[in-house]
Structure 1
């Protein structure tokens, strides 16, 4: 699937009170293709079956660094979807999720909503988001890693 078939919008990051940030990913390509990647054993992957990561394409200290948000099948490691996103937006989102989790003492720190032209496809309440630099090394300080989880 092409990355330019996806658009990403973020809500709940610029508020006075911490709230669960929501990432809405809208897919504007062939719906059957996304549905087949999200389906395993006849049903959509659950939030326990997916991982979310952000991989920088540019060095972190570059002007306006860009990266790729990826949703992957946790069991197989296969990418379900990938889309381009600027680092500033992603890091602002991660900070909002971190504040929400600390304020509410809640492991589900953010929500991902997947939509197509046909409507709602899936919603995932997530607690982790791993961030990697352009060389593929994990950036622990930038990542959302729930307490008690060892990598």
Structure 2
């Protein structure tokens, strides 16, 4: 899937700002095309037997971490390593999203979790419930402190 066919949106917890809890953080991937086209693209890229747990989410910076810059958000098949989706985006919103997921977990006493909602024409096509989001620097080194890594995952 071409990343330029998607727009990334974030729904984070706004408790500190508004006083209202907006619920579990959501990473919204809006497809610039029809629902049928998105479903077809997903069928082409995802194995028939793939489970939601087998879809990994990662972000890799394209410039040194001490500079503001872009990176690539990727969804990939954990078993085959094949990329389902790659989207260029700014680094700062991803890091803010990770922070928001952690805040939500601390406030609710639940595991750090978030949703990925894939949409076309404002209609939800698929939803992934996720607990893992790996953040890498431009050299490919895992930035553990910037990542969401569940306690039951060993890297």
Relative to the length of structure 2, the TM-score reads: 0.85
Count of equivalent residues: 147
**Equivalent pair of 1:128/1:144 in contact (CA under 8 Å):** yes
- The reply to whether residue 116 of structure 1 matches residue 103 of structure 2 is no
Aligned position for 2:8: 8
Q: What are the ranges of 5 or more consecutive residues in structure 2 without an aligned counterpart? A: none
Aligned position for 1:49: 54
Match of 1:71, SS state, is strand
Provide Cα deviations, 1:43-99, integer angstroms capped at 9, x if missing partner: 6x432121100000111111x211111001111111100101111100110000011
- The reply to whether residue 80 of structure 1 matches residue 88 of structure 2 is no
Deviation for aligned residue 1:149: 2.4
Alpha-carbon separation, structure 2, partners of 1:118 and 1:92: 24
Q: 1:119 to 1:138 in 2, by over 3 A?
A: same
Alpha-carbon separation, structure 2, partners of 1:33 and 1:50: 15
Match of 1:125, SS state, is strand
Q: Which has the higher helix share?
A: 2
Deviation for aligned residue 1:12: 2.0
Deviation for aligned residue 1:18: 7.6
Relative to the length of structure 1, the TM-score reads: 0.87
Alpha-carbon separation, structure 2, partners of 1:4 and 1:137: 25
**Equivalent pair of 2:112/2:148 in contact (CA under 8 Å):** no
Alpha-carbon separation, structure 2, partners of 1:80 and 1:147: 25
Deviation for aligned residue 1:118: 7.8
**Equivalent pair of 1:5/1:28 in contact (CA under 8 Å):** yes
Aligned position for 1:33: 41
Match of 1:141, SS state, is helix
